[in-house]
A and B are shown apart, each in its own frame.
Chain A
């Protein structure tokens, strides 16, 4: 009996010791974790470079990524050095892919990303900052999120103020309509910043044309086939009242042109956005009246370059002025008058860019209303 009693007492004691020891152990790990991030971070020597975007089937993103690859090649590396994170339009996938890559590279990462929608920007930036990696964003970001609040890790944000150029294309459209008649707008995915801004640009322009009316604005999700269907439905609803079409981007315009072609309608005034090679050809032929080139090739390369050079310590983002942290990208209006010249300059020969000239082609600091 006493043997069993002693055995039980020993077992209980050793279990208590075990519990106490593990409590000390966990506490120690937690304490070390608290101390960790306060250690100074040295520059990363050979960061991985990654681009996170929607997918490559859209010509715009194809150009962005080709710019990123051109940058990777300028470093003397292979095109495949650039890691592709494709989110297929899902913010959740975008965030989890980024976290996965951060874990895989141990924080030694220079990331260029479009976070798919504005609210997703903060979680991505916070995840990258916490891991000690470097990120540059384009397009989507909430107004209260600023690179300068994150020290060096959130390097820069570039967007394009689409309202101005969209207003310009809208004015060209409304003038071509003889300053009267109904306009329909086919937009991008409704929650995307560029979709909202390009519609707003049209509305701003309409304020100056009292005889023109916005008949309807529907999202076409940046997709050619959806745009085709939406335009067909517009033709049913408004028929001859439609005197002009304002498209949020080139791929939408292609769908609209085909819907018009199916009805035998040619020479309907039409404007778009993005400056795809196919669209520039159509501008040359006069089938599209204007498009706006945002130089996605340069944008893709320079975003990757900014993150990379911040990571290796070429420059210190926190020492740069605010207009180098948040800025507008270049926007070139392409009309039938200058389409031929534009094509030769930007499309037939892809220019060699100086990837260290970070802020040359940019358009000033981002303004918030």
Chain B
């Protein structure tokens, strides 16, 4: 038995498990101490609105990271889903009350297809996931640019934008949508065979293969599932801004990978899950919001964000378990 188990609940293992959450609470306390207005329902609502699309994208990529691979295609996928959704929405009636609601499942389907193609390129052509997904990301951005011709598409339907403007208990509907999909992600991760297979592949791929698991199929399903979550992220991003354009996917790559790592999911696979990702996304967005709220000058913010991310990762990584860092 590993050392420390007998010494009570605050042993090192437990602390590491809860480290990301502790980091989040410390950050919230810090920002509140400097600027009390940080700690208010309104501000938490704003953080939640900003986090919702990023959370979806991060949950999607969590499945891939658990498998030990990585997916960098989210920027292109989100842009394409957003643009196709907006174009279909406007072409089919431009309001949720008409047949345009079909554009919502269409976006999810597009995300799944792109994810599947992404997975096929990685699995069948045997290209490392880093390169294949990065390349597919660029393809996606290019496709979005071709579809829009550089223009932006405005989605102004009151019903659809109600996801942002209608609030229940102080939080907009889109936050509840994000929570719903988070719970779906948790269910897939913990209560389905597929989810368990993700962990098997990530924890020891050769072992899983030798045990009779069809690793290729699990990989493909993982990328497809990630694509669906990216599509949900795209829908929330469009709901938040009311515009679908090629730049809709911008910055999600950095945000989601950082959130996944900061939350405690290991990049080498097998460890972590969607709750870690939730904490990671909240940490990143709390830092982003908090820095402006306390009045940190703009030119210091990038540096501060980098430092805080390093601190968060250092605190949440179990360095004893890692023989060497890749």
Contacts and interface: CB of A to CB of B under 8 A. Distances in A.
A255 interface: yes
Contacts of B37: 236-237, 239
Contact of A232 (B38, B246, B248, B289): B289
A254 B240 CA distance: 11
B46 interface: yes
B295 A262 contact: no
Interface residues on A, range: 20 to 34
Nearest to B141: A57
A62 interface: yes
Interface string A62-88: 100000000000000000000000000
B250 interface: yes
Nearest to B252: A225
Interface string A217-235: 1110001111011101111
A363 to B, nearest CB: 27
B241 A59 contact: no
Please classify the interface of chain A as helix (H, G, I), strand (E, B), loop, or mixed, using the class held by over half of its residues: helix
B246 to A, nearest CB: 4
A223 B250 contact: yes
Q: Most chain-B Cβ atoms within 10 A of its Cβ — which of A217, A232, A264?
A: A232
A314 interface: no
B50 A229 contact: yes
Interface stretch (B58-66, B121-129, B144-152): B144-152
B43 interface: yes
Contacts of B35: 237
Contact of A58 (B241, B247, B299): B247
Nearest to B294: A237
Nearest to A263: B42
Given A237-B37, A262-B165, A228 B298 contact: no
A258 B50 CA distance: 12
Contacts of A239: 37
B298 A219 contact: yes
B284 to A, nearest CB: 11
Interface in B75-93: none
A62 B46 contact: no
A58 B250 CA distance: 12
Nearest to A237: B293
Contact of A236 (B145, B240, B247, B293): B293
B242 A258 contact: yes
Contacts of A258: 164, 240-242
A62 B151 CA distance: 8
A186 to B, nearest CB: 10
Contacts of A234: 292
B40 interface: yes
A16 interface: no
A90 interface: no
Contacts of B294: 237
Nearest to A191: B299
B165 A261 contact: yes
A202 to B, nearest CB: 15
B295 A236 contact: no
Given A56-B145, A56-B150, A236-B40, 11 more contacts: A57-B246, A223-B251, A228-B50, A228-B240, A229-B288, A230-B292, A232-B46, A236-B43, A236-B46, A237-B37, A261-B161
Interface of B: 35, 37-38, 40, 42-43, 46, 49-50, 145, 150-152, 154, 161, 164-165, 172, 237, 240-243, 245-248, 250-251, 288-289, 291-295, 298-299
16 contacts: A56-B150, A57-B246, A59-B150, A190-B299, A224-B241, A229-B50, A229-B288, A233-B289, A233-B291, A235-B42, A236-B38, A236-B43, A236-B289, A258-B164, A258-B241, A262-B46
Interface of A: 56-59, 62, 187, 190, 216-219, 223-226, 228-230, 232-237, 239, 254-255, 258-259, 261-264, 278
